[in-house]
Amino acid sequence: MNTPQLVVHRDKELMAEAAAARLITRIVDAQASRGSASVVLTGGRNGNGLLAALATAPARDAIDWTRLDLWWGDERYLPEGDPERNVTQARAALLDSVPLDPERVHPMPASDGPFGADVDAAAAAYAEELAAASKAENHGAVPSFDVLLLGVGPDTHVASLFPELPAVRETDRTVVAVHGAPKPPPVRVSLTLPAIRSAREVWLLAAGADKANAAAIALSGAGEIQAPAAGARGRARTLWLLDSAAAGQLPRSLYPPASP
């Protein structure tokens, strides 16, 4: 298991800009070495902040957007176009402004789609889509994502894996339906920890004082059932990107001085 690396920035704006620049570099490197890149997006204020920063980054055109596969770590099971859906927010922040190949954009199903109210069937269908994209050299039934982004909730949840709920205990399936999530809406679709841990790199985003306790718990050796963020790690690298407020409860020994 790789040791998490921490990068702490002065504020959330600088964190978003630096994370966007880092992501551009990672995507370009992957495209140069393998011809394409694969990224899993996250919602929430930090995930959307990163996408907005990427939209205005001077180097964004270094990416060949037609050779980028986009997936999602979780989704609110709501109708297509609902403003609370992660894909809707991602389109507004970035996706509608770049020349993506529509066939390489993989949103999770919506509640008014072919599965209707059957969120379990929707989750199974997304698992099948991931499996179809997986190659022989990949680790398991999902592609080897180059970067998988996760926002960290104040309760340590990542994706829609909440402390103590059944989804965070899943060890076999790659995608599950979530019923009774403590954060509205209660019905969601989420990647599981086994799917998350198939990624080459997992980046966890946390900004704001309301994330400080969660970051401290997750990085203190807590168990993943009680603190799902503690179980999110990449095969090659696990990177925590924080602002100074979110890092406020961490021992100074855990991270370098704040970036300028």
pLDDT tens string 160-192: 999 999 999 999 999 999 999 999 999 999 999
Instruction: Please check the confidence at residue 136 and state whether its pLDDT lies above 90.
Output: no
CB-based contacts of 44, cutoff 8 Å, min separation 6: 151, 153
Average pLDDT, the chain: 95
Residue 196 is inside which H or E element, if any?
A: helix 193-196
Residue 254 lies in a domain: no
Tell me the pLDDT band of 256, cut-offs 50, 70 and 90: low
User: 232 lies in a domain?
Assistant: no
Residue 6 pLDDT > 70: yes
**Count of CB atoms within 10 A of residue 24's CB?**
18
Give the domain CATH number at 14: 3.40.50.1360
> What angle, rounded to 10 degrees, do the helices at 12-34 and 44-56 form?
70
Question: Whole domain around residue 18: which residue ranges?
Answer: 5-182+202-209
For residue 16, what pLDDT is reported? 97
**Which pLDDT score is estimated for 260?**
38
Take residue 220 and report the two structure tokens written for it.
């203190």
pTM of the model: 0.95
pLDDT at 255 over 80: no
Q: Is residue 16 part of a domain?
A: yes
Contact 60, 24 (CB under 8 A): yes
For the chain, report the end-to-end CA distance as a whole number of angstroms. 30
Whether residue 155 lies inside any domain: the answer is yes
Taking the C-alpha atoms of residue 241 and residue 9, their distance in angstroms, rounded to an integer, is 8
Q: What is the sign, positive or negative, of the torsion defined by CA atoms of 36, 42, 48, 50?
A: negative
For residue range 187-220, what is the model confidence (pLDDT) as tens digits?
Answer: 999 999 999 999 999 999 999 999 999 999 999 9
Work out how many domains the chain is built from and give that number. 1
Question: What confidence category does residue 137 fall into, taking pLDDT thresholds of 50, 70 and 90?
Answer: confident
Nearest-angstrom CA–CA distance, 233 and 54: 23
